[in-house]
Amino acid sequence: MSHTWDPDRYLSYADERGRPFVDLLARVPAENPATVVDLGCGPGNLTALLAARWPQAKVAGVDSSPEMVAAAEGIDGIEWEVGDLREWARPDPLALRAPVDVLVSNATLQWVPDHLDLLPGLVDRVAPGGWFAFQVPGNFDEPSHTTRSELAAREPYAAHTRGVSVPASHDPAVYSRVLLDLGCEVDAWETTYLHVLTGSDPVFDWVSGTGARPTLQALPDDLRPLFEEEFRALLREAYPEDADGRVILPFRRIFVVARKPDGERVG
């Protein structure tokens, strides 16, 4: 079931969402890459950091959302493209596509079912000696996700939310094993951020811009307000505010930086 993205809503927590990208980028030691690609670039605010890090490189941002790419096109010096990450992972037996020195994917792979199967193809797009770095959320067993899934499975919502897109990821060891078997050097780790949020129902505001968005969009206009009301109440119970009105949102994220070996292409 398809859904659309709202760049403005996504950017409402731009600093918090951007920190994992910065932490990922800090562990990519590429010095003078000629080509850098951001798969799942979103509104482009983080892709701009790639251009700042490697000003001599040709930098491109790719996203499947036309809304996100339209928002990114106001950032100069970067090539923007509407495209599907899965197309990037398709076999290229004739080596017709130019290799990429640094391939980055931030908080995107979790939206692609069976994305482990895509890793060989993505590594194949990287030049020998180049880098493939990605970050995915690892918090899908937290109330921010489980309460949404449980509520959406109840009637009258279930009739509309069956088949809705649901993000998922794997532990760092799983990604490491796949990439090690491809001959890559791998640096993988996880971090749990503790985001301090304020405002009215801030956890709902956070998830409604990302993980809960497909579910909310799948509901008809007459049911969505009721679902949101119940969902907000469940989130307030799971993430209570303190006496000063602050809410702490723990957010586990998984990071992988892989260096492709010099030599033959993978795949």
Starting at the edge strand that comes first in sequence, how are the strands of the sheet with 79-82 ordered?
A: 79-82, 58-63, 35-39, 100-106, 126-137, 247-259, 185-197
Distance CA 18, CA 3 (A): 23
pLDDT in the model for residue 13 = 58
- Supply 198's token pair: 């304020």
Top-tier CATH class for 7-259: alpha beta
Distance, in Å, from the CA atom of 129 to the CA atom of 103, rounded to the nearest integer, reads 12
Q: Where are the domains of the chain?
A: 7-259
What is the pLDDT tens value at each position of the chain, 267 positions in all? Answer: 444 544 445 445 567 888 999 999 999 999 999 999 999 999 899 999 999 999 999 999 999 989 989 999 989 999 999 999 999 988 876 666 889 999 999 999 999 999 999 999 999 999 999 999 999 999 999 999 999 999 999 999 999 999 898 899 999 999 999 999 999 999 999 999 999 999 999 999 999 888 888 999 999 999 999 999 999 999 999 999 999 999 999 999 999 999 999 865 444
pTM > 0.85: yes
To 10 degrees, the CA torsion angle through 174, 176, 177, 183?
A: 160
